[in-house]
Amino acid sequence: MVSRWRSFAPYLWSILRIVAGFMFIQYGTMKLFAFPVGMPPNNATAVMFTQIWFAGVLEVVGGFLILIGLFTRPVAFVLSGEMAVAYFQGHAPSSFWVVINQGTPAVLYCFIFLYMSAHGAGPWSIDAWLERTRLRSRTAAR
């Protein structure tokens, strides 16, 4: 039974990637489009070309690329860095403890994306599809 459960690991990794990408996009749409709600405290959107606006662009575009599994490794690496910056600029100054500074999502996204940058997208991704296509075309060419 354990070996059967382990066989699901690559697919569960893909599901984690898809869910993380979908959830991450929402932080960007909040900043850029006030959807599903705007930024606290007054439901505003980010002013164009400010640091928070660029963060929103990274979150929407990067989150979508993570969601579909395209260019996963480099995108995840960039998003991991964005989350590290977000944590140390926006959360850490108020307290060392994440439960107090509300930095848990930033820390978790940082390390999920860092792992994703090393591990890749998983089998249910455009990256995996492109790799399978590339391998088939090399095999057919021989």
Best CA proximity match to 79, nearest among 87, 97, 16: 87
**Number of folded domains in the chain?**
1
> What percent of the chain lies above the pLDDT cut of 90?
92
State how far the Cα of 20 lies from the Cα of 69, in Å rounded to an integer: 11
pLDDT score recorded for residue 137: 85
Q: What is the pLDDT of residues 109-131, one digit of tens each?
A: 999 999 999 999 999 999 999 99
Cα within 13 Å of Cα(5), Cβ side:
2
Range of the domain at 120: 2-141
pLDDT score recorded for residue 45: 97
Mean pLDDT of all residues in 21-41: 97
**19 pLDDT band (50/70/90 cuts)?**
very high
0.85 exceeded by pTM: yes
If phi > 0 it is left, if psi is from -120 to 50 it is alpha, else beta; for residue 104 that is: alpha
pLDDT score recorded for residue 136: 86
- Average pLDDT value over all residues in the chain: 96
